[in-house]
């Protein structure tokens, strides 16, 4: 597991998962496994997927997001996405993710 691809913290019922670097098919697997482990371990009220440091994401990221949204739902937790880049937002919009998942944070280039 590449520990540098993800930083996770849990405080006051909020599990913050900050992804570092690109999200593609190659690196999605360790990221999703680690986030799921933390969700089941901490049973948070809210899972916040922080994408503020992700410069590139392809449709593998959509699978990753929807999968974690489902994991959060399983334990009754809310799920939000934080601060996606303009490029990442474009692909989220194409898939209609914002109809399902709340996106927070300022629009950034």
**How many residues touch another protein (CB under 8 A)?**
25
Decide: is 71 part of the binding site for another protein (CB under 8 A).
no
What is the separation of C-alpha 49 from the centre of its chain, rounded to a whole number of angstroms? 3
CA dihedral 25, 29, 32, 38 (to 10 degrees): -160
Q: What CA–CA distance (Å, rounded) separates 1 from 31?
A: 9
In whole angstroms, the minimum distance from the beta carbon of 96 to another protein comes to 10
What tokens appear for 84 in the block?
A: 């996606």
Decide: is 56 part of the binding site for another protein (CB under 8 A).
yes
- For 79, phi then psi, to 5°, come to -140, 130
Stretch that binds another protein, among 44-52, 62-70, 76-84, 98-106 (CB under 8 A): 62-70
Cβ contact 29:59 at 8 Å: no
**One residue of 43, 59, 98, 107 binding another protein per CB under 8 A:** 59
Q: What CA–CA distance (Å, rounded) separates 48 from 80?
A: 5
Stretch that binds another protein, among 3-11, 25-33, 44-52, 72-80 (CB under 8 A): 25-33
> What residues line the site for another protein (CB under 8 A)?
22, 24-26, 28-29, 32, 56-60, 62-64, 66-67, 70, 86-87, 90-91, 94-95, 109
């Amino acid at each position: 597991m590449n520990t540098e691809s993800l930083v996770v913290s849990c405080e006051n019922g909020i599990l913050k998962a900050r992804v570092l670097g690109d999200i593609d098919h190659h690196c999605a697997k360790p990221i999703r496994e680690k986030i799921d482990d933390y969700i089941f371990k901490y049973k948070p009220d809210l899972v916040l997927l922080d994408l503020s440091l992700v410069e590139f994401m392809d449709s593998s990221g959509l699978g990753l997001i929807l999968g974690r949204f489902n994991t959060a739902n399983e334990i009754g937790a809310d799920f939000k996405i934080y601060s996606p880049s303009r490029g990442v937002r474009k692909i989220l919009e194409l898939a209609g993710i914002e109809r399902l998942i709340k996106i927070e944070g300022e629009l950034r280039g």
